[in-house]
């Protein structure tokens, strides 16, 4: 039995920890005794929620506890620890404090008589604003990278039956994850595998071949393929280069929205004794490779990392565990600051600038949790596992 008197415990409250001998039977007996003595089971994330409510940690730190538990790579875990230690929060707080200083300056100036407004330029409002914008952009870039580390990216392999989608998945995963056969239409369901490239999780979905079909089961598979394409960050459009004429239209292009990031993959170059290569034009990248021999796979891996905008510095500095929620708040704050910049373009519209700065500050404060609605708290903590 371990006793942690508040406020120096995880939650800030008095905490009693009971340790029992291993095995579910004894632990269940212990739990039952506690419950009959008047205790109740904790809600998911309740300990961390209490730590947050008792000001032991802020919201970003609370969320990074969940991120540490979920981390699928060493790098993601390290980033989450960064955030738990308060590095991300410190960045946000520094931005908020710069904003507050600038807002005070502007509010004080609002009451100036007209003729003194000319002196505003000497107050360097625009310079100060630009400085905050630059800091915010840097933080946003770090948060985007952290989000990639945490969530990874989703890649869909799409193409007609038999072009080599399952073989390419196997080649990327380096194990036999999907059945490879010579009968068209074998992969009727979607199969997902996750690989780690440069520390980032890449979720690769192998799909049913796309073609017009009367087969109901295959039709279902195709519907699932289209749904997977919708959710994907990147689509690899596979063609069999031994069958396909370079000038011929790609029969599956119609299934993939034009604005979806995509790479054309000419597979089976071994059948044409071709060397692997990558071709870029304004609208499209294509890679010539062989899923069978592995030639060109490395080009593909590099291209994927490049498209994901992935620049992981292995010290992990300036990269923060970030959830979608954080990215949205940072982006919103950035939009308000850009508005504020526009209001300085011709003459300074001080009231409007002040209002945009206030809105930017509110957006940033939702990240660390100074202004966070209860329903959002419920949403955040419900994703924790029980006992954390
Ligand atoms: P899917 O239907 O698109 O998933 O295609 P599969 O991966 O099942 O491959 C269909 C057939 O093409 C299999 O016999 C594979 O061995 C063969 N294949 C796939 N990729 C290559 C390649 O790069 N070179 C050669 N020679 N055969 C390949
Ligand atoms: Zn397949």
Taking the centre of ligand 2 as the mean of its atom positions, its distance from the CA of residue 225, in whole angstroms, is 12
CATH number at residue 300: 3.40.50.300
Quick check: is 131 in a domain? yes
User: Domain span at residue 95?
Assistant: 87-149+316-372
Same structural domain for residues 251 and 296?
A: yes
Residue after which a domain boundary falls, among 284, 307, 330? 307
Same structural domain for residues 281 and 297?
A: yes
Quick check: is 220 in a domain? yes
pLDDT in tens, the chain (388 residues): 999 999 999 999 999 999 988 788 888 999 999 999 999 988 888 999 999 999 999 988 998 888 888 887 888 888 888 888 888 999 999 999 999 989 988 887 777 666 665 666 667 888 999 999 999 999 998 888 888 888 888 999 998 888 999 999 989 887 655 555 556 655 556 678 888 887 788 889 888 766 666 677 667 777 888 888 888 989 999 999 988 676 677 777 888 888 888 999 999 999 999 999 999 988 789 999 999 999 999 999 999 988 877 665 555 567 888 888 899 999 999 999 999 999 988 777 888 999 999 999 999 998 888 766 676 677 777 777 666 7
Distance CA 108, CA 101 (A): 11
Pocket test for ligand 1, best of 157, 167, 292 (most atoms within 8 A of CB): 167
Same structural domain for residues 136 and 159?
A: no
Taking the centre of ligand 2 as the mean of its atom positions, its distance from the CA of residue 207, in whole angstroms, is 7
Ligand 1 pocket (Cβ < 6 Å) reads: 159, 161-167, 180-182, 186-187, 209, 267-268, 270-271, 290-292
The count of structural domains within the chain is 2
Counts for the chain of helices (H) and strands (E), in that order: 12, 9
Same structural domain for residues 248 and 362?
A: no
Comparing CA positions, the residue from 384, 315, 385, 338 lying closest to residue 136 is 338
ipTM: 0.98
Same structural domain for residues 183 and 210?
A: yes
Contacts of 231 (CB under 8 A, 6+ apart): 154
Helices assigned H by DSSP within the chain: 24-36, 46-53, 59-70, 74-84, 87-110, 125-151, 165-173, 216-231, 297-307, 324-342, 350-368, 374-382
Same structural domain for residues 166 and 281?
A: yes
Same structural domain for residues 108 and 168?
A: no
Same structural domain for residues 214 and 338?
A: no
Distance CA 207, CA 366 (A): 39
Cβ count near 44 (within 10 Å): 16
Global pTM reads 0.70
């Amino acid at each position: 039995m371990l006793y942690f008197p508040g406020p120096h415990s995880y939650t800030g409250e008095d905490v009693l920890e009971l340790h029992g001998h291993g095995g579910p039977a004894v632990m269940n007996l212990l739990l039952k005794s506690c419950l009959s003595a008047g205790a109740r089971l904790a809600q998911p994330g309740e300990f961390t929620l209490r730590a947050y409510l008792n000001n032991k940690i802020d919201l970003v730190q609370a969320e990074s506890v969940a991120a540490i538990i979920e981390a699928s790579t060493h790098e993601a875990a390290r980033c989450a620890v960064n955030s738990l230690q308060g590095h991300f929060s410190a960045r946000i707080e520094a931005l908020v404090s710069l904003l507050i200083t600038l807002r005070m300056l502007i509010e004080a100036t609002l009451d100036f008589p007209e003729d003194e407004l000319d002196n505003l330029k000497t107050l360097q409002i625009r310079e100060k604003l630009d400085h905050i914008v630059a800091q915010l952009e840097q933080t946003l870039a770090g948060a985007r990278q952290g989000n990639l580390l945490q969530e990874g990216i989703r890649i869909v392999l799409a193409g007609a039956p038999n072009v080599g989608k399952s073989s390419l998945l196997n080649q990327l995963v380096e194990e036999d994850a999907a059945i490879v056969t010579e009968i068209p239409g074998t992969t009727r369901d979607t199969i997902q595998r996750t690989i780690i490239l440069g520390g980032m999780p890449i979720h690769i979905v192998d799909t049913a071949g796309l073609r017009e079909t009367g087969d109901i089961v295959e039709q279902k598979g195709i519907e699932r393929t289209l749904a997977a394409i919708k959710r994907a960050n990147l689509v690899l459009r596979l063609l069999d280069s031994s069958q396909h004429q370079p000038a011929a239209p790609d029969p599956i292009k119609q299934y993939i929205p034009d604005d979806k990031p995509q790479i054309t993959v000419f597979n089976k170059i071994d059948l044409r004794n071709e060397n692997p290569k990558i071709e870029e034009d304004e609208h499209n990248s294509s890679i010539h490779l062989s899923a069978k021999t592995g030639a060109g796979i490395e080009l593909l891996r590099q291209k994927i990392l490049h498209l994901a905008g992935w620049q992981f510095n292995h010290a992990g500095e300036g990269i923060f565990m970030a959830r979608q929620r954080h990215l949205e708040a940072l982006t919103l704050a950035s939009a308000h600051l850009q508005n504020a910049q526009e209001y300085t373009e011709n003459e300074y519209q001080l009231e409007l600038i002040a209002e945009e700065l206030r809105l930017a500050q509110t957006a940033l404060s939702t990240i660390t949790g100074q202004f966070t609605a209860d329903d959002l708290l419920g949403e955040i903590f419900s994703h924790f596992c029980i006992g954390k």
